[in-house]
Structure 1
Amino acid sequence: MCILLLSTVHPDYHLILLSNRDEFLDRPTASLDWWTHPPTNTKVLSARDLLRPEQGTWLGVNEHGKLGVLTNFREEDVQKISGDRSRGQMVKDYLTSRYGTVEEFVEAMIEEGSQKGVGGFSLVCGDLRVRSGEEGVGRMAIVSNRIGKSAANDKAGPDWILEKGSVETEGLSNSVFLEPWPKVNEGTKYLEEVLRDSQKAGRSQEELVESLFEILSRDNLPPEPTIQDLRDSIFVRIFPVPWTVPADTTASGCADDETLRKPAETPIRLYGTRQQSVILVDKQGQITFIERTLWDEYGNALPKDQRDRTFQLAF
């Protein structure tokens, strides 16, 4: 997933989350659905990457309301891109962990060094359950194995966002949290505008959801985009990527880069925004999770009646 936007601005929702996953269209992937983690018997709702043996995910919610989201970090040094473990395992670790709070998980993750041995990533994790008598979901942690250039980001430990009761909009892409790409700044601006306009107009949840998918579909790319241009556009339309391009082709951040190092049957692969997701947590604590898949593995647009998978959870 290559952009993540979160907001507590809309008064009818504790949290609204939007994400785009930019990826090679032929990467084997299981659609959004429930699955069970055998060692802990934990039930998780997520899509899954079927290429790596870990079968991790970039975005998921478990049966207890834990939320985990991953973005890759755009590496300048090609040698640092991939690791021995899949980045998607980081989300899986949180959603199936034995720790009761996000604070306990993050502390253990840092102490145990489980963020090592993988390529650059940022993990957003938190709890979507709304506790009785409390306003809003719990705060969320952003844990990364990369640091930025700013002194404020040169520290150990996570960044914390969406403190309980706050009214804020945050975003993350394939840079460190405190050094956002232009598309993150654009996305947070448009998200706040849409949420405020929706509330004033009294739009239904269905109308709001379509407005959120419109944000995820904003395309600022030039006719022939370069890797650098992907920093500027929330949506990445499909474009061909030669197999001869070095692993830095994954600069937009969601591919698990070792796929580029394998022999190719064809000289070209298609890359772009493949899945879009929206999660709503309403004032009653009900979670609506929608995944929209835009293309099949050959770059054919999916019919509208085959694109969306919707699940609702209550705790």
Structure 2
Amino acid sequence: MCLIAFAWESHPRWRLLLAGNRDEFHARPSAALARWDDAPIVGGRDLEAGGTWLGVADGGRCCVVTNVRDPRDPQLGASRGLLASDYLRGEADAAAHAEQLLRAAADYRPFNLLTFDARAAFYLGNRPNPRAQAVTPGVHGLSNADFNTPWPKTRTLMQRLQQWIDAGDDTDFAPLFEALADERQAPDTQLPDTGVGLERERLLSSAFIRGEQYGTRASTVVAIDRDGCGVIAERRFGPNGRYHGQTLLRFGERSTAIG
């Protein structure tokens, strides 16, 4: 995932409400959102390294990972996608997992990680140094920089998520998918300087990235209520933003259909 906005403990129905885009090279093999046969995970799957970028598990656990944009970093270490699947497979709660991961975080490629369970949420990162912080109730954002770094597309997605919450509709997620499909680029004066050059900063500044080799591969919405029940919906895209289908899966005993 390369763009995420989420509401934690700030919606009357959903304990966690998350909307995010996964941006990746189109040549990297991936499996669509599904229930895994070999683990109690519902999510997409990276077929190259075996992990996931976003998934949910029993009890309403959720985990999502992004990379850190820094062309100077050698990108050495274990696959960051394994961080998400390992958390979802494991038994440690979010707080205990955060404490454990801090001891090994430096062994992974540059990452930002969000973990959620029935009681707590954590942000973890390993650049420039391993760190963890509890997530407070409210609307937050994450892209390929530090937690809540105010990149234009992150701010905009957070605002649109807050607008959806304020509108009071808790089942029609279409406006969130519309926000994730926004292709407007930020003005040059608002672009970050992450070392990739102005032309690429422009390309990467939109929520939805349309490209032949690299771009938005999946848009996903997750909603989990306070009983650990919910829904995860994914829309998939190929080169140049070609639509490749969608999947919606419910989990938990009392989940409700969405529009």
TM-score by length of 1: 0.70
Report what 1:132 is aligned to. Answer: none
Of 143, 164, 169, the residue aligned with 1:194 is: 164
Deviation >6 Å, runs of 4+: none
Counterparts of 1:96-245 in structure 2 under 5 Å? 96-99=89-92, 101-111=93-103, 113=104, 115-127=105-117, 129=118, 138-147=119-128, 157-162=131-136, 166=137, 168-197=138-167, 199=168, 203=169, 205=171, 208-221=172-185, 226-237=199-210, 239-240=211-212
Q: Deviations over 1:34-65 (max 9, x none)?
A: 1144xxxx41111111123xx01110112233
Q: Deviations over 1:109-161 (max 9, x none)?
A: 123x2x2232211110111x4xxxxxxxx2211110014xxxxxx8x641221
Report what 2:24 is aligned to. Answer: 23
SS of equivalent to 2:179: helix
Asked whether the equivalents of residues 187 and 215 of structure 1 are also in contact (C-alpha less than 8 Å), the reply is: yes
> What letter matches 2:135 in structure 1?
I
Q: 1:204 to 1:88 in 2, by over 3 A?
A: closer
Root-mean-square deviation (CA, aligned residues, Å) is 2.3
Consecutive unaligned residues in structure 1, runs of 5 or more:
130-137, 148-153, 241-269
In the TM superposition, residue 27 of structure 1 has moved relative to its aligned partner by 1.5
Q: Deviations over 1:68-100 (max 9, x none)?
A: 1001001141xx24223111011112111232x
In the TM superposition, residue 11 of structure 1 has moved relative to its aligned partner by 2.3
Question: Larger Cα Rg: Structure 1 or Structure 2?
Answer: 1
In the TM superposition, residue 216 of structure 1 has moved relative to its aligned partner by 0.5
Asked whether the equivalents of residues 10 and 196 of structure 1 are also in contact (C-alpha less than 8 Å), the reply is: no
Asked whether the equivalents of residues 44 and 52 of structure 2 are also in contact (C-alpha less than 8 Å), the reply is: yes
TM-score by length of 2: 0.84
Report what 1:11 is aligned to. Answer: 12
Q: 1:230 to 1:81 in 2, by over 3 A?
A: farther
Of 34, 44, 49, the residue aligned with 1:47 is: 44
Q: 1:283 to 1:103 in 2, by over 3 A?
A: closer
**Do residues 33 (structure 1) and 34 (structure 2) align?**
yes
Q: CA–CA distance in 2 between the matches of 1:193 and 1:65?
A: 24
Q: CA–CA distance in 1 between the matches of 2:77 and 2:225?
A: 39
SS of equivalent to 2:173: helix
Q: CA–CA distance in 1 between the matches of 2:214 and 2:61?
A: 30
Of 40, 57, 62, the residue aligned with 1:62 is: 57
> What letter matches 2:11 in structure 1?
H
User: Percent identity of the aligned residues?
Assistant: 29
Consecutive unaligned residues in structure 2, runs of 5 or more:
187-197, 254-259
Q: 1:204 to 1:95 in 2, by over 3 A?
A: closer
How many residues align structurally?
A: 241
